[in-house]
Every structure is written in structure tokens, then in C-alpha cells.
């Protein structure tokens, strides 16, 4: 798939991904690069239907079913949006991807991590991000930023989010080359500068 660049953004709810994605997009565009934004779940089309179920369905959802819905959306995102853009040499910035399923369904819901990793591999046909940012924030900051209006996932509770956060920290330790853990409680500009430093280090190494 190599030609463009595939960068993903991760972290618990309220970690500041959206702000950083916007700033990085502007940075690339100032430098004459073509950027495509996408997200999981639900970038467009069928994905938005899956997102609606995943975030708003109020009946029982088994963790296994939940995983497969996120994975189905992921397959669609990779095939329809990410892969074509990368092949055209574009930079794809994706709000959540494989590590969300490991952190939320694996660490959070308690599903087997190796199995999720294998399923991620199948859903993405083995395409991995070139670089991943995890913005780490504490649970109190997360809860305060999310506020009272919570979707189905955000309503999972403090213990759940503690496990998800630990998951992200483990992921960054296990794959330090791809996954960069950044303190998400710092000022926005500091975080942005760290993101740019990592991106440029990757581009220089290529
Ligand atoms: P998010 O992008 O945070 O939506 P919003 O910015 O509107 O809150 O993602 C939605 C939720 O889905 C979030 O709580 C994390 C969760 N999620 C998983 O549990 N597993 C996954 O594989 C993905 C992609 C997301």
C-alpha cells in the first residue's frame, strides 16, 4: 500500500484527538500536502449506520458482537477510504483505528487481546498505520471533558475507562516505534509540536 502516509489518533474519550487532527491537517496543507480525514466508527455511508448502532443502540450488545461491528466498519474504512487515498500518495489522518478495539474491547471489555489483534489484521488486510498517537489523559479529565451527555460507549463507567487507559499505555510500550504516547493534559500547542516532531522524524527516516 506504500505511497502516502497513514497516521492514526487514539486515546480515551475527551483526550483531544479531534483538535490535534485539525492542527496536523492544517500543518500538512500549509506544506502543500494533500490530506484525507477519516474516522472509526463511521466515516461515511454504511459506516455511519454502524456508528449509529454502536453509539446509540440501547439494548443488550455482547462484547464479541460489538467487536465485530467495529471491525466491519474498519474493513469498510480501509477498503473504501484509506487504501485508495494512500495509493494516490495522500496523507490519511484517521480518528481511531485498530488500537481502539484492543484498548476498548480487549482491555476494557476483557476480550482476548491476541484474538482481537488477529481479527484486526483480517479486517485491515494487514495494513498497519505508519504512525499512531495516543493522547494520554487521566480519567477525571476524561469524564469532565465528556460531560453529562454520554453515548453508549461513554456510559461504560470509570473502571472500564481505567482499563482502557492502561491498555493504551501497554500498546505504546509494546510497539514504541509505531505508537507514540503523549501527555494529553499539556497545552494544545505543546502537543501539536510533539506531533509534528514525530511526523517529521518519520518522514526523514523514509
Ligand atoms: P469517538 O471517535 O470517540 O466518537 P466521539 O468523538 O463522537 O465521542 O468514538 C466512539 C466510541 O467508540 C468511543 O467511545 C470509542 C469507541 N470505540 C471502541 O470501543 N472500539 C473501537 O474499535 C472504536 C473504533 C471505537
Which ligand 1 atom sits closest to the C-alpha of 71? Answer: 22
* DSSP track, 125-167: TT---SEEEEEE--HHHHHHHH-S---TTGGG-HHHHHHHHHH
Give the number of the atom of ligand 1 that is nearest the alpha carbon of residue 153: 14
Q: For residue 139, how many other CB atoms are within 10 A of its CB? A: 16
**81: CB partners within 8 A, 6+ apart:** 36, 38, 43, 44, 92
Which band of pLDDT confidence, cut at 50, 70 and 90, is reported for residue 2? low
- For domain 5-205, give the CATH number: 3.40.50.300
- Relative to the CA of 156, which ligand 1 atom is closest? 14
- Report which protein residue has its CA nearest ligand 1's atom 20: 101
Instruction: Give residues (CB < 6 A) around ligand 1.
Output: 13, 39-41, 55, 70, 95-96, 100-101, 104-105, 153-154
Q: If you measure from the C-alpha of residue 120 to the centroid of ligand 1, how many angstroms do you get, rounded to a whole number?
A: 15
Q: Write down the domain spans for the chain.
A: 5-205
pTM of the predicted model as reported, rounded to 2 decimal places: 0.96
Instruction: State the residue for C-alpha cell 474519550.
Output: 13
pLDDT digits (tens, 9 = 90+) for 68-123: 999 999 999 999 999 999 999 999 999 999 999 999 999 999 999 999 999 999 99
User: Which of 65, 149, 153, 171 for a ligand 1 pocket mutation test, highest count of atoms within 8 Å of Cβ?
Assistant: 153
Amino acid at each position: 500500500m506504500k505511497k502516502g502516509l497513514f497516521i492514526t489518533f487514539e486515546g480515551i474519550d475527551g483526550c483531544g484527538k479531534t483538535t490535534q487532527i485539525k492542527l496536523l491537517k492544517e500543518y500538512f496543507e500549509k506544506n502543500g500536502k494533500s490530506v484525507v480525514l477519516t474516522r472509526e466508527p463511521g466515516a461515511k455511508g454504511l459506516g455511519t449506520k454502524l456508528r449509529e448502532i454502536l453509539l446509540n443502540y440501547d439494548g443488550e450488545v455482547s462484547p464479541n458482537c460489538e467487536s465485530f461491528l467495529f471491525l466491519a466498519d474498519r474493513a469498510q474504512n480501509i477498503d473504501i477510504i484509506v487504501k485508495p487515498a494512500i495509493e494516490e500518495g495522500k496523507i490519511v489522518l484517521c480518528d481511531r483505528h485498530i488500537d481502539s478495539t484492543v484498548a476498548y474491547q480487549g482491555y476494557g471489555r476483557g476480550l482476548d487481546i491476541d484474538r482481537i489483534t488477529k481479527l484486526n489484521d483480517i479486517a485491515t488486510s494487514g495494513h498497519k498505520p505508519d504512525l499512531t498517537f495516543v493522547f494520554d489523559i487521566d480519567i477525571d479529565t476524561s469524564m469532565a471533558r465528556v460531560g453529562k451527555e454520554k453515548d453508549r460507549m461513554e456510559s461504560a463507567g470509570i473502571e472500564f475507562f481505567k482499563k482502557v487507559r492502561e491498555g493504551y499505555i501497554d500498546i505504546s510500550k509494546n510497539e514504541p516505534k509505531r505508537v507514540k504516547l503523549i501527555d494529553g493534559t499539556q497545552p494544545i500547542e505543546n502537543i501539536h509540536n510533539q506531533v509534528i516532531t514525530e511526523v517529521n522524524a518519520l518522514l526523514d527516516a523514509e
